[in-house]
């Protein structure tokens, strides 16, 4: 429903939820008490989920950002891209390679890096077609030093954490798509009820009715897929397959709904 009104707000909330979920799942009690209330209350404008790199997105095992043990600190170097809320995030959940000799995906760890930490640099902003109220930026780590207690969860266990959270994130992205598709078709259906051609409203033409009916049917099916995945996640049951199915179907249904809404607006 948030995305139905504003996709930028929805993606910001979705990423905030992902950040809080990771901290809740693997963070220490001190990390939970320190960061979750700040993110949830608005003391921090947002939290940022720094996983994606130029060569690693849904395949986090391919990341190249590193964190090197240096006495009482970790030293982070590397770059992340497409990071939502980066310019105004209060804290970043960051994944980095901590054991370069480990098998693929086995030497990755998760860290909390506060905004303003020396060496944490907000890079170029992405030029997007939409969601302009949600910032999306490159984030650079240039000899960024964080204390030892910035590590979240177990050392070299970050890949498992990332994969688990990406599965939950797919429910959020699918829901965002659903909201956008509904908003587009709402606009198209409203226009069809107002616009007159050939002596009658567009909504009276059966070809237009088919477009509207098919779009809403697909979007409702997408909603049920998303709810099924979300229910299983809440119950602590396996949900990765359902989340992927729901994301795929919801986003494709939203794309079709937007296309058909454009066709209706051309009448």
> Tell me, what CATH number does 102's domain have?
2.40.110.10
Query: Are 71 and 102 in the same domain?
Result: yes
What does the pLDDT read at residue 267? 67
**89 & 218 share domain:** no
Local mean pLDDT, 10-residue blocks, the chain (267 residues): 94 94 96 96 95 85 94 97 97 96 90 98 95 96 98 94 91 97 98 96 97 98 98 96 98 98 92
CATH code: domain of residue 231: 1.20.140.10
Same domain, yes or no: 43 and 141: yes
Together in a domain, 28 and 140: yes
Residue 19 shares a structural domain with residue 52:
yes
Residues 40 and 139 occupy one common structural domain: yes
Q: Which residues pair with 137 in a beta bridge?
A: 83, 125
Q: Are 193 and 265 in contact (CB under 8 A)?
A: no
Distance CA 98, CA 162 (A): 15
Return d(Cα 20, Cα 47) in angstroms, integer. 8
Which of 130, 156, 182 finishes a domain?
156
Looking at the fold, whether 8 and 138 belong to one and the same domain comes out as: yes
Q: Is the domain of 13 the same as that of 72?
A: yes
Q: Read out DSSP for 123-177?
A: EEEP--SS-TTS-EEEEEEEEEEEEGGGEESSTT-HHHHHHHHHHHHHHHHHHHH
- Same domain assignment for residues 244 and 199: yes
Of 236, 229, 113, 109, nearest to 160 by C-alpha is: 109
Which residue do the tokens 């209706």 mark? 264
Q: Which domain covers residue 185, as residue numbers?
A: 162-265
- Residue 67 has, within 13 A of its CA and on its CB side, a CA count of 25
Q: Are residues 37 and 169 in the same domain?
A: no
Last residue of a domain, one of 122, 156, 190: 156
Beta strands in the chain (DSSP E): 47-50, 66-70, 73-84, 91-97, 108-114, 120-125, 136-147, 151-152, 196-197, 200-201
Domain shared by 152 and 197, yes or no: no
Angle between helices 158-194 and 240-265 (to 10 degrees): 30
Residue 55: per-residue pLDDT: 85
**146/190 same-domain check:** no
Which residues touch 24 (CB under 8 Å, ≥6 apart)?
32, 36
| Total domains present in the chain | 2
Half-sphere exposure of 233 (CA within 13 A, CB side): 22
Last residue of a domain, one of 156, 186, 214: 156
Question: How high is the pLDDT of residue 61?
Answer: 84
- Look up the pTM and report it: 0.88
| The two three-digit tokens of residue 231, written as one number | 């229910």
Return the C-alpha torsion angle 91, 180, 60, 115, nearest 10: -10
């Amino acid at each position: 429903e948030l995305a139905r009104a504003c996709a930028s707000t929805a993606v910001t909330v979705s990423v905030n939820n992902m950040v809080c979920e990771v901290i809740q799942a693997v963070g220490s009690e001190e990390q939970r008490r320190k960061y979750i209330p700040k993110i949830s209350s608005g003391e921090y404008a947002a939290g940022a989920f720094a996983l994606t790199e130029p060569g690693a997105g849904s395949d986090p095992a391919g990341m190249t950002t590193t964190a090197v043990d240096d006495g009482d600190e970790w030293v982070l170097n590397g770059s992340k891209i497409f990071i939502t809320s980066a310019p105004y995030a209060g804290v970043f959940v960051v994944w980095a390679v901590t054991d370069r000799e480990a098998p693929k995906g086995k030497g990755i760890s998760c860290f909390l890096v506060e905004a303003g930490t020396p060496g944490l640099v907000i890079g170029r902003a992405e030029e997007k077609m939409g969601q302009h109220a949600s910032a999306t930026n490159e984030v650079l780590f240039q000899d960024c030093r964080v204390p030892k207690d910035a590590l979240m969860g177990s050392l070299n266990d970050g890949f498992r954490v990332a994969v688990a959270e990406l599965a939950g994130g797919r429910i959020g992205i699918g829901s965002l798509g659903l909201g956008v598709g509904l908003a587009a078709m709402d606009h198209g259906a409203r226009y069809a009820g107002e616009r007159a051609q050939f002596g009658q409203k567009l909504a009276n033409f059966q070809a237009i009715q088919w477009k509207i009916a098919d779009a809403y049917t697909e979007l409702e099916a997408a909603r049920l897929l998303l709810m099924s995945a979300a229910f299983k996640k809440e119950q602590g049951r396996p949900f990765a397959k359902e989340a992927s199915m729901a994301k795929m179907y919801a986003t494709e249904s939203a794309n079709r709904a937007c296309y058909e809404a454009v066709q209706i607006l051309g009448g």
